[in-house]
Amino acid sequence: MNTINTERLEKNIIDNIHEAQLKLGYDGRPVSLNYTPATLRHLTGSDDMGEISEAVKSCSPGRLGAMEIRPVHDIYCITVPAEGTAYVNALYSGDNGFLCRLVGTVREHGISLDDVLAVFRSFSDNVAVKESGSEEFDYLVYFEDGVPDEYYYCLTLEPCMGGGCHITYHRFIREDYEDLNF
């Protein structure tokens, strides 16, 4: 069996639960996250889905609980039990970090690109901002040194209607972003 990077996988699972809790709130229930095989390969460093499935099942049982993984069509669904979502909720209790501030900012209407970029820049001087040239989104923003996080944020400036503009984002690991060939 090859060595599987469960640390990066676990961090991604925790980050995704944290993001969901920021957006939707914490309800004490299990959560299911969908992953493409490519994303799981990128996160673990393994091409063997059997190994990856076993790694998910043995990943951090003391913190995230006994996770389950199952194929659903062409993706994999990882279910984190209630004890895992409670762990993430407690881990970020009172959080006012980058993701918390970003979600709080984009939740508002009437914001500008400068407002969103100010959140990034308040956490780092190493922020890359690139116009996308894609119909899918308007700007790519990320921390060049991976601090405070390693994700690539694809920002879309929604049309202004009724007196307020809105900005949405999608977040990817670098490898998934590169795979998309925007």
| Predicted confidence (pLDDT) per residue in 84-131, tens digit | 999 999 999 888 899 999 999 999 888 899 999 999 999 999 999 999
In the chain, the amino acid numbered 91 is L
- Give me the domain span that covers residue 124: 98-180
Residue at a domain's end among 59, 74, 91: 91
- Asked if residue 87 and residue 121 are part of one domain, the reply reads no
Q: How far apart are CA 82 and CA 28, in angstroms?
A: 6
Q: Cα–Cα distances in Å, from 45 out to 10, 39, 49, 52, 100? A: 13, 10, 11, 9, 29
Helix 98-106 vs helix 6-24: crossing angle, to nearest 10 = 40
* Residues 118 and 65 both lie in one domain: no
Domain check: are 38 and 75 in the same one?
yes
Q: Are residues 63 and 107 in the same domain?
A: no
Model's pTM, two decimal places?
0.92
17 occurs within a structural domain: yes
- Residues 121 and 86 both lie in one domain: no
Q: Are 139 and 129 in contact (CB under 8 A)?
A: yes
Domain assignment present for residue 142? The answer is yes
In a domain, 64, yes or no: yes
Domain-terminating residue out of 91, 110, 127: 91
Per-residue pLDDT of the chain (182 residues; tens, 9 = 90+): 457 888 999 999 999 999 999 999 999 999 999 999 999 999 999 999 999 998 898 877 778 999 999 999 999 999 999 999 999 999 998 888 999 999 999 998 888 999 999 999 999 999 999 999 889 999 999 999 999 999 999 999 987 665 557 899 999 999 999 999 88
Q: Please check whether residue 1 lies inside any domain of the structure.
A: no
- Two tokens, residue 94: 């009172």
Domain count, the chain: 2
Instruction: Please identify, among 56, 91, 126, the residue that sits at the C-terminal boundary of a domain.
Output: 91
- Check whether residue 102 and residue 80 sit in a common domain: no
